[in-house]
Structure 1
Amino acid sequence: MVKVVEKTFMVVGGKNRGLFKEYAEAVPKAAQLFLNRESEIPFSSGIEVTVYEQPKQQNQLEGTFYVGVLVNEKVSDLPTGMEYIEAEHRYAMTTGKVSEMSNIYSNLDKWIVENNYQHSSPNNYIIEVYDQVENDVENVEVYIPIVN
């Protein structure tokens, strides 16, 4: 089920670049490296996130993403190599299993069109928030920024 939500995300994370077609492998690898440093982050909620910059051009092959954690307060004294991101927007949001990520995005994109929304400016982030793993199944909330 897709919902429209207004939400603010406060994230501390590490910046990464890679080919879009390699994200399925690159993002989990970057997340594992990042999690080794999670204890350095003040005000960490312990909730893992990935923040994606949207493609700026139709034929763009490479992108930027951040792996990190949600924080409970703005962080000004950042650990070396980390950045603070605050993203506030209206999002189309749904949940699902990480193993079904492509279906989650396809369903969200279809819902956005069918309900007369559009993807917002490429300057707004797509955000994935990960739930704890239970019985070897990891769930994710996906937030795509939208406008009417």
Structure 2
Amino acid sequence: MSIKKVSKEFKLVGLKGSGEFVTFGNEVPLLAKQLLSRSNEILNATETEIALFEPKKGENHSRGHYYVGLIVNKKVNKVPTGMEYIETNNNYITIRGNMSNLRELHLKVLNWSEERGYERDLDSYIVETYHPNEVEEEVQIYLPIQA
């Protein structure tokens, strides 16, 4: 479970959702199921699921938006109805681990970046990619930081 700084670009086609930050844990998987039921409509899609999350900018920031999607191999000009094509390219602090440890992984990557003096980029999405395996689904978290 190593943590490192990376520069990475993501291209995805997905659905947008919004709500209270505290309910994202329930809402995001439901929207992801809806997206997967339409995955055959997405051109150039990989099998890698991805989610982008608006960062919580303070205690009074209680509502936010997010996207659930599939990573695509190249720019998509024809997007299915109700979906959006998004490209994001940023510097991140990243960690990968078991989905059941999601909260712990977020805390670890946040603490690691703070200990090393990295400043969060609150204008860029937090990215999670999901990777099924034989034992348990893994998640890779990308916390955006200032360049």
Q: Give the structure-1-normalised TM-score.
A: 0.94
SS in 1 for 2:113: helix
Give CA deviations for 1:87-144 in whole Å, capped at 9, x if unaligned.
Answer: 1011000001111111001001100111110101x22111000002423x11010001
Matched, 1:123 2:136: no
SS in 2 for 1:78: coil
Question: How many angstroms apart in 2 are the aligned matches of 1:35 and 1:123?
Answer: 28
**Structure 2 residue aligned with 1:43:** 44
**Structure 2 residue aligned with 1:144:** 143
Off by >6 Å, runs of 4+ in structure 1: none
SS in 1 for 2:78: coil
Question: How many angstroms apart in 2 are the aligned matches of 1:11 and 1:55?
Answer: 22
Q: Give the structure-2-normalised TM-score.
A: 0.95
**Structure 2 residue aligned with 1:65:** 66
Q: Which amino acid aligns with 1:132?
A: P
Q: Which amino acid aligns with 2:125?
A: Y
Question: How many angstroms apart in 2 are the aligned matches of 1:83 and 1:77?
Answer: 10
Give CA deviations for 1:23-53 in whole Å, capped at 9, x if unaligned.
Answer: 1111111111110000100000111001112
Shift of 1:58: 4.0
Q: What percentage of residue pairs aligned between the two structures are identical?
A: 36
Matched, 1:55 2:56: yes
Q: Which moved more, 1:4-13 or 1:56-65?
A: 56-65
Shift of 1:56: 4.4
Shift of 1:67: 0.5
* Gapped regions of structure 2 (runs ≥ 5): none
Equivalent runs, 1:19-98 vs 2, <5 Å: 19-98=20-99
Question: How many angstroms apart in 2 are the aligned matches of 1:97 and 1:35?
Answer: 21
Question: How many angstroms apart in 1 are the aligned matches of 2:81 and 2:133?
Answer: 29
Question: How many angstroms apart in 2 are the aligned matches of 1:53 and 1:24?
Answer: 14
SS in 2 for 1:118: coil
